[in-house]
Amino acid sequence: MSGLMSSLSLAARALDAQRSGLAVTGENIANLNTEGYVRRSIQLAEGQPGAGGVDVLGTRARRDVMLDARIRQELPSESRERAIAGSLGIVEAALGREGESLDARLVRFFDAFSSLAQDASSTVARDGVVQQGRLLAQSFNDIASRLDDARRGADAQIRGGVADLSRLAAQVASLNQAISATLSGDAEGLRDQQAEALKAMADLADITVLRRGDGGVDVTLGEGRAIVMGANAYALTAVDTPPTGFAAVELGGVDITNEIGRGQLSGWVDVRDTMLPGYASQLDAIAFEVVNEVNALHQGGTDLLGATGNNFFAPVGGSAGAATVMALTAAVEADSQRVAASQSGAPGDNQVAKAIAALRDARVVGGTATFADSWSQLVYRVGSDSQTAQAQQKSRQQVVEQVTILRDQVSGVSLDEEAALMMRFQRAYEANARYFSAVDDMLATLMRIVGAG
Amino acid sequence: MRVTFQTVNDGIAAVNTAAEQFAKAQRQVETGRRMENPSDDPAAAMRVIQGTNEIATLDAYTRANDTASSRLTVLDTVLGTIVDRLSQAQAAAAQGRGTTADTPTREALAAKLAGIRDGLVSDFNATFRGTALFAGAEVQATAYARVAGVWTYQGDASEVTVDIGRNHGATISLDGQSIAKGGDALDVFTAFDGMITAVVAADEAGMAAGMDALRRTFDRAVRAQSLVGVDMQGVDDEQRNLSSFKLANLQSVSKDRDANLAAAITEMNQADTAYRAALQAVGATAKVSLLDYL
């Protein structure tokens, strides 16, 4: 009798075990589309000697810490290039299409002087020169402004990235606390969230993660600067720096902007502080040379009113910012008769107009390049930087994808596998139920015999 | 290897890639341009800028050529007329020499010479599109006018040239005085006046001096016309060069900038096929499940 009762107990525990297995499978299927979810499996063990049957030891997350770490290691390089490629895509658009942007404006400007040279006394040709000069200056202004906008855009992204990184650091610290508090319980859900938060942090910057004995993690950034220590998070701040007002990334009052080597933050910083200033400087150099070269020739000429020594463009102090401030002089803007086309002062003399028109072929930028060459070099530089970033991003993305596939092979949920497990647990439950029923029948038979006796 | 549900996401990424390729090829077909951004081919973008700039420069020279050509044609015609008038004047003056001509004949010859002189003045004061042809850079001035009874040149000594190519110019406005006077003490109009007086007065020496002046002016006009002819020839040669240079540059730019439509359409079809295949693959992957068989 006691044997049958223990068999009943064994069958009941077995039913519980199979039901638990089915519940784990259900949980896996439920989280099929949950980002960062690591599949769970039930751990069953043979029952204790004497009790027999099956015991549920618990559930285990199929987590591969090495692969998670590898993803965090590869991701910052990919995200850095992604950030650069994204920002430079906007810069490429800002430069306009080849043959339809500043190069076309330069062409039309020198064409206007060429037309003036064909009839130096023509007021229509003079108006054309003023109009094209104004449009050329506006074109320089527009592109300089777009480059500045792109810098401000990158700065805004840096500020957003810093805020996200601080928020994620606080989240990881909070999870650390929760994980250490539930060390004996089921903390796998919290660990999933922890892994996702760390991945998001690695997307922003090249963090270093150190595992703690209590299941938590410490996170450092740059030259080993802690941003998470157990339950404590140290917030990063974006601090305005003069004279540009752009944000420097500070941690505990220390500027760590240049310590961030990889991740989106590093890409945005590179775009804002290195690439875009370089492009703007090249644009300024072209504008500066246009202003100087045209003015030098124009000053040597005589306008229709007999005045000499006047500028065509408003003089600029230096190359820095020349594209931003480039403009016609007020006198030329107001009266096209102020355009000096003549050397001698005779209305038909076109020496100066011809000389300015010939500047289109002059190698005056850096002493080696024409204005068009210099512009094409700037376009090449932006295109080449963007292409390199895109190529690097694709190549690094493939590495991240490969590691992610490896991780998914271990941690991902397979619907077919879960379906098979579901069937397994269902059948096992049915078999155990039959066993329970058989033992119950035997007990009933025994009870009838005992009752009849 | 375990195949996880992530396979569906990978399939969706493949669908996106194929759709992206399709869109790119479609944009090439729509716009006819190979490159959308400089990053598609930075070196080609640089070459296109340099090529289009060169084409624009050649176009500017072509326009200058057209203007110069029209102006040179007019100059050539006017100089031809000047040469003809000077020949007529020489012939008329020759009739006045010797003792055979009576007074009415001399007066008639004088009137004829005055008419030729006036025509010549008109030739030297010719304009093209409102600007003088023989006043040097003083294109808005009348080249010759009688001021206080004296023939006065109101232009200047410079000649206006336009660039019709790199290092190649054409003169579009001449120094009228260098033709009408040259190195002489008097200009041709004053010489005409003196000769008219000499014809009426049967002044052989005066007529001879006047004819010498006409001959020298004739020579200078012929020389000026031949220089205009050289410029016209130069314009023709330059136009041919510009045309062939432009064609070569257009071909080069087109190679870098324009889409190969046949290739783009083929790519579009391939991308379309890949897109459909990727869609079917995703559909099949998502559809087939062990759950359907349990």
User: Residue B88's pLDDT band (boundaries 50, 70, 90)?
Assistant: very high
Better-predicted residue by pLDDT, A269 or A65:
A269
Average pLDDT of chain A is 93
Which of B60, B136, B290 lies closest to A416 in CB terms? B290
pLDDT, average across residues B93-116 = 86
Sequence-separated (6 or more) residues with CB below 8 Å from residue B182: B216, B217, B220
Banded pLDDT at A234 (limits 50, 70, 90) = very high
Confidence of residue A26 (pLDDT cuts 50, 70, 90): very high
pLDDT for A302 beyond 90: yes
Please report, for residues A137, A176, A250, B102, the alpha-carbon distance to residue B207 in angstroms, rounded to integers and kept in the order given: 65, 121, 102, 15
Mean pLDDT (whole number) for B229-241: 94
Of B10, B138, B162, the CB nearest to A346: B138
Q: B28 vs chain A: nearest CA distance in angstroms?
A: 14
Give chain B's mean pLDDT: 91
Of B42, B50, B132, the CB nearest to A372: B50
Contact A98 B67 (CB under 8 A): no
Give the confidence band of B10 by pLDDT, cuts at 50, 70, 90.
confident
Across the interface, do A114 and B45 touch by the CB < 8 Å criterion?
Answer: no
Give A-chain residues touching B163 at CB under 8 angstroms: 114, 117, 354, 357-358
State the DSSP code for B216.
Answer: H
| pLDDT > 90? residue B99 | no
CB contact under 8 A, A405 and B6: yes
Whether residue B290 is predicted with pLDDT greater than 80 in this model: the reply is no
Mean pLDDT of the A275-288 span: 96
Average of per-residue pLDDT across A209-235: 92
Q: What is the pLDDT of residue A367?
A: 87
Predicted pLDDT at A392: 95
Cβ contact, residue pair A357, B43, below 8 Å: no
Residue B4 predicted with pLDDT over 90: no
Q: Which residues of B touch A422 (CB under 8 A)?
A: 294
Q: Give the per-residue pLDDT at A185.
A: 64
Question: What is the per-residue pLDDT for A104?
Answer: 94
Mean pLDDT of A183-203: 88
- Interchain CB contacts (distance < 8 Å): A and B: 182
Among A31, A361, A415, the strongest candidate for a mutation testing the B interface, having the largest count of B CBs within 10 A, is A415
Residue B292, pLDDT score: 75
CB contact, 8 Å: A319 with chain B? no
Whether this prediction's pTM lies above 0.90 is answered by no
Cβ within 8 Å of B, A 354-393: 354, 357-358, 360-361, 370, 372-373, 375-377, 379-384, 386-387, 390
**Of A112-116, B6-10, B111-115, minimum mean pLDDT range:** B6-10
pLDDT in the model for residue A356 = 97
pLDDT given for residue A453 in this prediction: 62
Least confident range of A38-42, A88-92, A94-98, A422-426: A94-98
Q: Is the CB of A416 less than 8 angstroms away from the CB of B138?
A: no
pLDDT of res. B35: 87
Which pLDDT does position B134 carry in this prediction? 96
Give how far B135 is from chain A: nearest CA, Å: 9
Q: What is the mean pLDDT of residues A1-26?
A: 88
Please report which confidence band the pLDDT of residue B103 belongs to, taking 50, 70 and 90 as the band edges.
confident
Confidence band, pLDDT 50/70/90 cuts, at residue A2:
low
Answer yes or no: is pLDDT of A50 > 80.
no
What number is the average pLDDT over the span A288-309? Answer: 95
At A385-436, the pLDDT tens digits run 999 999 999 999 999 999 998 998 899 998 888 999 999 999 999 999 999 9
The answer for A 156-195 residues in CB contact with B (under 8 A) is none
Say what the pLDDT of residue A183 is. Answer: 60
CB contact under 8 A, B172 and A373: no
The number of angstroms, rounded, from the C-alpha of B108 to the middle of its chain's C-alpha atoms is 46
A98 closest CB neighbour out of B48, B60, B63: B48
Q: How confident is the model at residue A450 (pLDDT cuts 50, 70, 90)?
A: confident
B53, B65, B166, B287: best to mutate for the A interface, most A CBs within 10 A: B53
- Which residue is associated with the tokens 């006796």? A453
- Ranking A1-15, A110-124, B103-117, B168-182 by mean pLDDT, the lowest is A1-15
Task: Please compute the mean of the pLDDT values over residues A125-152 and round it to a whole number.
Answer: 96
Question: Which residues in chain B touch residue A106, judged by CB atoms under 8 angstroms apart?
Answer: 53
Q: SS3 for chain A, per residue?
A: CHHHHHHHHHHHHHHHHHHHHHHHHHHHHHCCCCCCCCCEEEEEEECCCCCCCEEEEEEEECCCHHHHHHHHHHHHHHHHHHHHHHHHHHHHHHHCCCCCCHHHHHHHHHHHHHHHHHCCCCHHHHHHHHHHHHHHHHHHHHHHHHHHHHHHHHHHHHHHHHHHHHHHHHHHHHHHHHHHHCCCCCCHHHHHHHHHHHHHHHHHCCEEEEECCCCCEEEEECCCEEEEECCEECCEEEEEECCCCEEEEEECCEECHHHCCCHHHHHHHHHHHHHHHHHHHHHHHHHHHHHHHHHHHHHCCECCCCCECCCCECCCCCCCCHHHHCCECHHHHHCHHHCCCECCCCCCCCHHHHHHHHHHHCCCECCCECHHHHHHHHHHHHHHHHHHHHHHHHHHHHHHHHHHHHHHHHHCCCHHHHHHHHHHHHHHHHHHHHHHHHHHHHHHHHHHHHHHC
CB-based contact (8 Å) between A33 and chain B?
A: yes
User: How close is the nearest chain A Cα to the Cα of B5, in Å?
Assistant: 5
Q: What does the pLDDT look like over B48-83, one tens digit per residue? A: 999 999 999 999 999 999 999 999 999 999 999 999
- The answer to which of A5-19, A41-55, B118-132 has the lowest mean pLDDT is A41-55
The pLDDT > 90 percentage for chain A reads 81
Over pLDDT 90: what percentage of chain B? 72
Nearest alpha carbon to residue A261 among A216, A212, A218, A225:
A225
- pLDDT for the residue A112: 96
Which of B1, B6, B24 is the best substitution to test chain A (most A C-beta atoms within 10 A)? B6
Please write the tens of the pLDDT for every residue from A354-365. Answer: 999 999 999 999
- Confidence at residue B287, expressed as pLDDT on a 0 to 100 scale: 74
Q: What are the chain B neighbours of A348 within 8 Å (beta carbons)?
A: 131-132, 135-140, 160, 173
Q: How far apart are CA B237 and CA A220, in angstroms?
A: 74
The pLDDT value recorded for residue A1 is 54
